[in-house]
Chains A and B, each alone.
Chain A
Amino acid sequence: MAKLGRRDRGIGPTRADRTPGHSGWVARTLLTTAVLAATSAFAADVIDPDTLKRLVHQDCGSCHGLSLKGGLGPDLRSKTLEHYDADVLTNVILDGIPDTAMPPWRPLISEEEAEWIARYLLEQEAQ
């Protein structure tokens, strides 16, 4: 239920102000999030590492490279990321970076999955 509370917070002006002109999108995303959150409340303990690893390498890899060495997006290997906290990375994954090509993944994955990906990126073996 705590997660569903997010919808009430998120639709407020704070977030919409950050991305002017995108409020419709934000609202839609958050609505999607609310639906996803409701679903993932049951699914929170079914993190599937293989699926998430595949997502990281194949889909994040569209911009960051299959081996995460970077492309249009920056290098995501653990050595490059080690100065960041997992929390910061989790938020970047969930909300993207405005005015860059990094999209918000919140419509597609749960917070738990984003946290798992952040930890996975930080803990990868040096390649």
Chain B
Amino acid sequence: MKHFILGLAATLLMTTAQAEPTATGDLGLVIERAKGSVLLVDQSDRAALARIEGLGDLSHASLVYSPDERFAYVFGRDGGLTKVDIVTRQIVNRVVQAGNAIGGAISDDGTLVAVSNYEPGGVRVFGADTLEMIADIPTDSKTIGLVDAPGRRFVFTMWDTGETWIADFAKGDPEITKIPDMGKNPYDALITANGRTYITGLFGEDGLTALDLWSDDPEPIRVLPDYGRGQEEMPVYKMPHLEGWALTGREFVLPAVGHHEVLWIDADTLSETGRTKTHGQPVFAMARPDGRQVWVNFAHPLNDTIQVIDSVSKEIIHEFKPGPAVLHMEFTPRGHEVWISVRDANKVMVYDTHSFEKLREIDADSPSGIFFTARAHRTGL
């Protein structure tokens, strides 16, 4: 019956679509992790529009958008790759491409969708139109930190072997460049918005490792190799995320691992410029798009709290508790509002980033990642 109604709704929508085109520029999708569904939301109306179901295990899911902001490619934990049409609000294609996946990326030209997998470890690349597999790149390792880079390239890193590989699809068949010695147990990575610097965070040792992708022969550059030395190491109950990199003026801000602080790094020299002590183990440290504020959420058991850091003074200027299990934050593209998923409250909460006033609560079933379509136009997102 549900399918019938959804089908009917889709038909009606397609009919009305002819009369009035759907603009997708202020839409977004929220992952509903327990249900295997995504919630289509409207950023301007601060409202949920529709629920699209049948996407499998979305417990650690993420997604990317096609360049026209019409299709979302959703990467599920169970290896599912689902293509969702947010105009007709339907699943248009779905493949289960591996046993256990962790994330994905879309090429700069929008034609290739890549997925990184834990099991079997490696990266698989699909045509964005048909989801037919174009390349299979086994790495013999759990593979993390997959991003797109300019020039039809993907960059990804191996948890077990500490290598980073660059797969260049500019000439069709991928050319692979392997960079060993990135460090012990890299857990995630990011690429800067200009596509130049790739940074991977290390779990097995202190610090991070950067690559200059503008170099013909990128070499690992150690960043803060001894930032935690001599300090007590705290247990890490959830690995931080480096996706949604934060550049504030001339600095990056990144979550530390095993230390309750965020680290400030000069974007040019990759040297430390400061640290800010935080409430707990940071999971996401996200800069508001203008870079003036950094919003931080935390690992279990302190995951009910958000702290806001001023990027000029590097001091915490606001702290509040949206509710139990704050999993993700997404800013509107110009940063005037932030959407926050509060998993155990079954709500997405919308806040004004200037007054910190709560503007709206939207019902969602165990919400996790929030993804606005503006990501379609940003490298690495």
A residues with a Cβ closer than 8 A to B are 22, 24-25, 28-29, 58-59, 61-63, 65-67, 69-72, 96, 99, 101, 103-105, 107-108
Kindly identify which residue among B57, B185, B236, B300 contacts A59, using a CB–CB cutoff of 8 Å. Answer: B300
**Cα A70 to Cα B234 with chains together (Å):** 23
A72 near B159: Cβ-Cβ < 8 Å: yes
Known contacts A65-B59, A70-B118, A71-B118; is A108 also within 8 Å of B301 by CB?
A: yes
A101 near B203: Cβ-Cβ < 8 Å: yes
Known contacts A66-B57, A70-B118; is A24 also within 8 Å of B203 by CB?
A: no
Which A residues are in CB contact (< 8 Å) with B339? none
**Cα A63 to Cα B239 with chains together (Å):** 8
Which B residues are in CB contact (< 8 Å) with A71? 60, 77, 100, 102, 118
B236 near A69: Cβ-Cβ < 8 Å: no
**Cα A119 to Cα B159 with chains together (Å):** 30
CB<8 Å pairs between A and B, sample of 27: A22-B233, A58-B343, A62-B237, A62-B238, A65-B59, A65-B60, A65-B77, A66-B57, A66-B77, A69-B99, A69-B100, A70-B100, A71-B100, A72-B102, A72-B118, A72-B142, A72-B144, A72-B159, A72-B239, A96-B235, A99-B204, A101-B185, A101-B236, A101-B239, A103-B235, A107-B235, A108-B237
The interface bits of chain B over 92-118 (1 if a CB of A lies within 8 angstroms of the residue's CB, else 0) are 000000011010000000000000001
Would you call the interface of chain A mostly helix, strand, loop, or mixed?
Answer: loop
In the complex, the chain B residue whose C-beta lies closest to that of A54 is B344
B234 near A25: Cβ-Cβ < 8 Å: yes
Total chain B interface residues with beta-carbon distance under 8 A: 32
In the complex, the chain A residue whose C-beta lies closest to that of B77 is A65
Which B residues are in CB contact (< 8 Å) with A61? 59
In the complex, the chain B residue whose C-beta lies closest to that of A59 is B300
B298 interface hit (Cβ, 8 Å): no
**Cα A59 to Cα B281 with chains together (Å):** 14
Known contacts A67-B57, A71-B77; is A104 also within 8 Å of B235 by CB?
A: yes
Which A residues are in CB contact (< 8 Å) with B149? none
Which B residues are in CB contact (< 8 Å) with A28? 232
B154 interface hit (Cβ, 8 Å): no
B187 interface hit (Cβ, 8 Å): yes
In the complex, the chain B residue whose C-beta lies closest to that of A103 is B235
In the complex, the chain B residue whose C-beta lies closest to that of A69 is B100
Which B residues are in CB contact (< 8 Å) with A24? 232
B17 interface hit (Cβ, 8 Å): no
B243 interface hit (Cβ, 8 Å): no
Which A residues are in CB contact (< 8 Å) with B325? 58
Q: A66-B57, A67-B59 are in contact. List 18 more A-B contacts (CB 8 A).
A: A22-B232, A22-B233, A25-B232, A25-B233, A58-B343, A59-B237, A59-B300, A62-B238, A62-B239, A62-B299, A63-B238, A63-B239, A70-B118, A71-B102, A71-B118, A72-B144, A101-B185, A101-B239
**Cα A58 to Cα B60 with chains together (Å):** 11
**Cα A24 to Cα B144 with chains together (Å):** 32
